[in-house]
Amino acid sequence: MTDQIKPQPGILGIALYQGGAAHVAGLSDAVKLSSNENPFGPSDKAREAFSRAVHKLHRYPNTDHRALREAIGEVHGLDPDRIICGVGSDEIIHFLCQAYAGPKDEVLFTEHGFLMYRISAMAAGATPVAVPERERTTDVDALLAGATKRTRLVFLANPNNPTGTMIGLPELERLAKGLPKQAILVLDGAYAEYVDGYDGGADLATRLPNVVMTRTFSKIYGLGGLRIGWGYGPREIIDVLNRIRGPFNLSTAQLDAAEAAVRDQDHVARCRAENARMRVWLAEALAERGVPSDTSMANFILARFADEAEAAACDDYLKSHGLIVRRVAGYGLPHCLRITVGDEASCRRVAHAIGQFKAQR
């Protein structure tokens, strides 16, 4: 290949995103607790809507996503004209970086922030900037101190992945109001549904001119395999993002399944309650076995070990027992393992295995 053919600056610096492992060699019944998926899967209504879409495969999908945006608007009490739908919330993150950040611009996030923020910033040619957290929790003062006149986007997952911690709405509002005028605060609500009474930042995104909220169907809705997410914010910003959105970015099956899923809030409530119950159980079971974690507000626990070697050894031990969890060294947490809260049987299995691992050391 000729050395004249080169990608845009920044692209070759992107480290490939590693998804959670799904298999263990030689084992067919491994339990996957590495990608924060809902162990109960989607609403039956979403499955049925997906199946019905088979009759429409020869038709192009609708381009304006009106039916899905109206369903989301009804359920969340939001203006559908301020909603944009994408191929997972990853695509909304990507649109934001592409539309608002370029060379010499800075994209801010916290030290243990979601890896897609860095990847999307670099894909846009912008400079990713990570600021410290305090005890694995977002530090608003550090974000405010890290913002400069070059900062165009500030990404914050609340609750955060992989730490599971979150900060309150007054702190989020203080952050939004304290940022430089050219910066957009993006509140990533991938795990918002797991927090009783939390709106994911929807009210802030309604009231403030510089706040955008992103949401996903991949976590509590149990539709990670289908790839649907959405964003909500000031009309001017949503209008900008729609200009770079592919007209047919979502298929009919995605749109129909997501609409049925969002209308089934009973399923969401059941999954939230069961997750809360098993999350407390798992955190206590691990603590009793000498593995502490911060109080998680999401559907996973960040288990802390003595050091990187112990975390790696425990990961190997779990794998050999058919349990797949997530190493998070790439998130600056080499001594931790992120464990998705599975169903009761999986939680018991992982707690038992970690207990055996600790006992033999």
Closest approach of Cβ 254 to ligand PLP, in Å?
A: 12
CA angle 310, 312, 313 (to 5 degrees): 65
Residue 156 vs 353, nearer CB to ligand PLP: 156
Residue 122 vs 285, nearer CB to ligand PLP: 122
Residue 114 vs 305, nearer CB to ligand PLP: 114
Peptide bond into 39 cis (omega under 30): no
Query: Which residue stretch of 20-28, 71-79, 88-96, 129-137 sits at the interface with ligand PLP (rule: CB under 6 A)?
Result: 88-96
The residue at minimum Cβ distance from ligand PLP is: 88
CA angle 116, 324, 262 (to 5 degrees): 55
Q: Provide the β-strand partners of residue 340.
A: 300
The verdict on 117 binding ligand PLP (CB under 6 A) reads no
Residue 88's nearest CA partner among 24, 129, 36 is 36
Please tell me the count of residues contacting ligand PLP according to CB under 6 A.
14
Residue 35 vs 127, nearer CB to ligand PLP: 35
Query: Which residue stretch of 5-13, 59-67, 87-95, 348-356 sits at the interface with ligand PLP (rule: CB under 6 A)?
Result: 87-95
Residues 172 to 191: which contact ligand PLP by CB under 6 A?
A: 188, 190
Of 50, 109, 114, 221, the residue at the interface with ligand PLP (CB under 6 A) is 114
For the chain, what's the residue count?
Answer: 361
Of 34, 38, 89, 138, the residue at the interface with ligand PLP (CB under 6 A) is 89
Asked if 275 contacts 284 with a C-beta cutoff of 8 angstroms, the reply is: no
Instruction: Provide the b/e sequence for 285-294 (b: ≥16 CB within 10 Å).
Output: bbeebebebe
From residue 146 to residue 165, the character string flagging contacts with ligand PLP as x (rule: CB under 6 A) and all else as - is -----------x---x----
Asked if 186 contacts 214 with a C-beta cutoff of 8 angstroms, the reply is: yes
User: What is the CA 190 to chain-centroid distance, rounded?
Assistant: 4
Strands (E), 138-249: 151-157, 184-188, 211-216, 229-232
Of 43, 216, 251, 254, the residue at the interface with ligand PLP (CB under 6 A) is 216
Q: How far apart are the first and last CA of the chain?
A: 53
Of 158, 165, 218, 299, the residue at the interface with ligand PLP (CB under 6 A) is 218
Residue 17 vs 60, nearer CB to ligand PLP: 17
Distance CA(169)–CA(185), nearest Å, equals 13
Residue 95's nearest CA partner among 245, 196, 239 is 245
Residue 220 vs 285, nearer CB to ligand PLP: 220
Integer angstrom CA distances of residue 313 from 58, 123, 245, 334: 51, 35, 44, 12
Residue 186 vs 285, nearer CB to ligand PLP: 186
Query: Which residue stretch of 7-15, 198-206, 216-224, 346-354 sits at the interface with ligand PLP (rule: CB under 6 A)?
Result: 216-224
Closest approach of Cβ 322 to ligand PLP, in Å?
A: 24
Asked if 159 contacts 165 with a C-beta cutoff of 8 angstroms, the reply is: yes
Residues that bind ligand PLP (CB under 6 A): 36, 88-90, 114, 157, 161, 188, 190, 216, 218-219, 224, 229
